[in-house]
Amino acid sequence: MDLGLTAADAEFRREARDWLAAHVPAEPLPSLETAEGFAAHREWERELYTGRWSAVTWPEAYGGRGASLLRWLLFEEEYYAARAPGRVSQNGVSLLAPTLFEHGTQEQLARVLPAMASGATIWAQAWSEPGAGSDLAALRSSAVRTDGGWLLRGHKTWSSRAAFADRAFGLFRSHPGADRPHNGLTYLMFDLAAPGVTVRPIGRLDGKPAFAELFLEDVFVPDADVIGEPGQGWRVAMSTAGNERGLTLRSPGRFTAAAGRLAALWRATADPADTALRDRVADALIGARAYQLAAYAGVARLTEGGTPGAAASLTKVFWSELDIALHETALDLLGPRGELAATATEAPDHGSWADGWIFALAGPVYAGTNEIQRDIIAERLLGLPKGRR
């Protein structure tokens, strides 16, 4: 693998850096898990779209730049280094869009992607259900055939962004007589403001509604909003899951930037005699750099025609555990001050370390728990017998 950049790639990085320096808000936006913050982050998505930075790898016809995966990595490194706002459109851009590119129709691409890129439509992920989280094939929400489309019934929970989002995507059981739980599922998009949809926010550890429950009572969805073939939703969903666990949800730039800030925090505040904390800072730096190099290697494989496959489970376990360790080290460095809320004027770094830690705690759970990922690694990568499932 050649780690050198071409002059054109270096110019792309410089262009991204200059644009971000000129446009990133001087003060952090309010939390996107509040109505005020969600609106502010939607406006930031519009700003990114105006600069053609909201979805750099997409074709220009849909609002992108047609950039390579390598340039996406470069942009993400600059984005996090610039401390740009979190992406409220992440579910759409990182999860639904790759699924549409692989399984959607031309009509769906032309209708859905431009509004997604501009922030006009923000998407929620509606997969988990009571009794069907990591065991996604146990889901019971249904899609019943009707004239011109489907009627959705059931209950989804832990739906990210759903408290304030516009639309959602999820799996539904459409063929209840199928021979296996993974068969007879259909992947659909639906409007969260449609008749029959009730959205009930779920408070996070800090009380903010980062998730929501969705109650669906005969919600009509037209055939045009089915992704892939009816009854083949599991195959479509695995495309989304591969992206969620792999590169697109957690780019390495997020961790290299955070590890750099952690090292700066160590230099500014730590007792040099505390070698235990020093070693944890070093471990975070090494972990972030290792993940970055693994991501570059992954991009090289994908560029040559490979797919994320089961290796995405390795990635997911690694970044989710790295994220917790990195933020816990920062909080231990800061002591009691690190626990101050973002609204406190004395909160170091606008409370970003505490906020980051709270979010990191969810990493081993979402996108398929790490226990499930370890089963996948054992069975598909190491060839070991099936375990607890």
Alpha-carbon gap, residue 377 to 316, rounded angstroms: 11
How far is residue 92 from each of residues 23, 168, 219, 316, 379, measured CA to CA in Å? 23, 9, 21, 19, 30
The torsion region of residue 350 among left (phi > 0), alpha (psi -120 to 50) and beta comes to left
Structure tokens at 76: 């993400």
Q: Is 47 tagged catalytic?
A: no
The answer to whether 84 and 78 have CB atoms below 8 angstroms apart is: no
Alpha-carbon gap, residue 88 to 102, rounded angstroms: 23
Structure tokens at 273: 């005699």
Question: Among 283, 159, 287, 135, which Cα is nearest to 216's?
Answer: 159
Alpha-carbon gap, residue 342 to 350, rounded angstroms: 5
Active-site hit among 102, 244, 321, 328:
244
Query: How many other C-beta atoms are found inside a 10 Å radius of the C-beta of residue 384?
Result: 11
- Give per-residue burial for 21-42: e unless 16+ CB within 10 Å, then b: eeeeeeebbbbbbbeebbebbb
Structure tokens at 137: 């094939």
Strands (E), 159-196: 167-173, 185-191
The answer to whether 234 and 174 have CB atoms below 8 angstroms apart is: no
Question: Among 42, 48, 3, 1, which Cα is nearest to 22's?
Answer: 48
How far is residue 341 from each of residues 85, 324, 337, 350, measured CA to CA in Å? 18, 18, 9, 8
How far is residue 110 from each of residues 70, 101, 190, measured CA to CA in Å? 25, 11, 17
Alpha-carbon gap, residue 156 to 312, rounded angstroms: 25
Which residues are the active-site residues? 244
